[in-house]
Chain A
Amino acid sequence: MNLTRRHLLLLLPAAGVAWKYILAGTPEVAPNYKLTDHWWGMLIDLTKCIGCGNCVRACQAENDVPDGYFRTWVERYHVTDYDIENPQVDSPDGGRKGFPPAKDPSGKNFFVPKLCNHCADSPCTQVCPVGATFIGPDGVVLVDKTYCLGCRYCVQACPYGCRFISPKTETAEKCTLCYHRITKGLTTACCETCPTGARQLADLKNPKDPIHEFLKTHSVQVLKPYMATHAKVFYNNLDGSVR
């Protein structure tokens, strides 16, 4: 074939595109971790939660969460006379130091640990104007703090109150589902330290994960299902009074 100057010029754009891909490289999340092989969530068995606050302390130790802010916290519900519209909820210091004795031991009392629900259709990622918050191919909702402007749209959008603006960086912060741990094959800090196994990390794309059997055989619910966020934190034995 006779390669003319005109042919070379025509090849230039294609070469430019190829060069761009070479420059971008393939960022390695972690060796042996394939993004598309996972779809992360969590299972919280409320029949096992004892409100010890281990998860809250572990989260703060693992993720350097600023004092007074929480990526996970524990709430205590008190429902009298089955008035599920008006539960009394307390969470002193996010449950970090445990809970004082219940003021009224009658009625229904129980603990509810909360964290980011890693929604498959999350309102927080939809409102971000700069693409700083996103759901990864493995189903974890994350914040790119180098892109975040601190505009607080996502803090307002989250129906579960799981986000805050870090006083240190002035950017949005939230539970990462211990992304730095689960990509290395470890479980999250809260699941690692939960003494009763009330919290369990779940990989919904792994057919061998015990969550599939659990979801089949238990009465499992997500928080605020009417928001259609497709939350991936599943609660076993969730009471109707929980907001």
Chain B
Amino acid sequence: MNAFRDAGHLFRLAGVFAAGVLLFLVLRSFLVPKSFGEYGHYRGNALAEIAARPVNFAGHETCETCHADVLEKKRDGKHAHVNCEACHGPLAKHADDPSSVTPAKLDAAVLCVRCHEANAAKPKSFPQVVSADHSNGLPCDTCHQPHSPAIAAEPAK
């Protein structure tokens, strides 16, 4: 065993290394979140944290549970596939507490032109008007009902 005669300093060095590795492992187990690496190189719990955010738009199925009359009105009209909150805005708070949170009254003059003001970039098949020429300044809902906008007694073209 002559080869190991002066190896004492190597063992001491190995001891220091081992202590360092142990310290690293202990510190890491405290500092790295438990869910890190659960699905990949990231904190697995982040998914649940991002998913926990509250919603602002209730979704049209929620609206329709109470407002079946509006759904009926919309059904055969051109706006059948336009969801409620596309015009009425985010109303999850109203859906949670319908009695105390009431939606604001909408302004047809602002809302209709958002979609129907003529623009060369819009698809040609989409109904568009130049609002200044179309109604002589009358608000849209004088003639059109927003939930079913076709005018019943429209004269033949």
Contacts and interface: CB of A to CB of B under 8 A. Distances in A.
Interface in B41-100: 41-57, 59-60, 81-83, 85-87, 89-90
Contacts, number: 141
A192 B60 contact: yes
B24 interface: no
B137 interface: no
Contacts of A102: 119-121
Interface of A: 20, 23-25, 27-30, 33, 35, 47-54, 58, 61-63, 76-78, 98-99, 101-102, 105, 109-111, 131-137, 142, 144, 146-147, 176, 179-181, 183-184, 186-187, 189, 192-197
A180 B50 contact: yes
Interface residues of B, number: 44
Given A33-B51, A181-B59, A192-B83, 12 more contacts: A27-B44, A29-B47, A51-B119, A53-B114, A105-B120, A109-B120, A146-B43, A180-B54, A192-B60, A192-B86, A193-B86, A197-B81
A136 B87 CA distance: 33
Given A179-B50, A186-B59, A98 B117 contact: yes
Contact of A180 (B46, B55, B85, B126): B55
Given A101-B119, A179-B51, A180-B52, A147 B86 contact: no
A35 B46 CA distance: 13
Interface SS of B by simple majority:
loop
Contacts of A61: 56-57, 89-90
B40 interface: yes
Interface SS of A by simple majority:
loop
Interface of B: 29, 34-36, 38-57, 59-60, 81-83, 85-87, 89-90, 114-115, 117-123, 126
